[in-house]
Amino acid sequence: MKSEIGFTLIELLIVIAIIGIIAAIAVPNLIRSRASANETAAIGGLRQIAAAQTRFFEHSGLARYAVDLEELQTEGYLDDPIGYEFRSGYDFSAGADTESFNIVASPS
């Protein structure tokens, strides 16, 4: 009797094919979940900026909104400098006049 130790080439190819199929199914789901997480983080950033603008308008005594994110940060209404860096795949910017403000999160 012949004693064989190890795997045959066919067995190894079948295992590699199964791993490839599993990877082909898993990778798109991972990409989708990462995009969803980035969108959720961007929404949270927009809410944080909107709350800071509201606090600035109510407490600054100037009866206006902050012109940009830098003004919100220097006045102490925004802790995290969201507008200065690329965050979660989005670039944040804000603008305002005396009656309203706008916030934009642009995907990059």
- In tens, the pLDDT along 62-99 reads 888 988 888 888 888 887 665 555 667 888 888 888 78
The span from the CA of 64 to the CA of 57, in Å, is 6
The span from the CA of 99 to the CA of 65, in Å, is 7
CB neighbours of residue 57 within 10 Å = 18
- Domain membership of residue 1 (yes or no) is no
- Domain membership of residue 23 (yes or no) is yes
- pLDDT at position 3 over 60: yes
And the tokens for 38?
């980035």
Count up the domains in the chain and report the number: 1
- Domain membership of residue 57 (yes or no) is yes
| Cβ-contact 83, 53 below 8 angstroms | no
- Domain membership of residue 3 (yes or no) is no
- Domain membership of residue 2 (yes or no) is no
What is the span of the domain harbouring residue 18? 9-107
Question: What is the tens place of the pLDDT at every residue in 6-55?
Answer: 889 999 999 999 999 999 999 999 999 998 998 998 898 889 889 999 99
The span from the CA of 4 to the CA of 10, in Å, is 15
- Domain membership of residue 34 (yes or no) is yes
Cα atoms in the Cβ-side hemisphere of radius 13 Å centred on 23: 6
- Domain membership of residue 49 (yes or no) is yes
The span from the CA of 80 to the CA of 86, in Å, is 12
Q: What is the pLDDT of residue 42?
A: 87
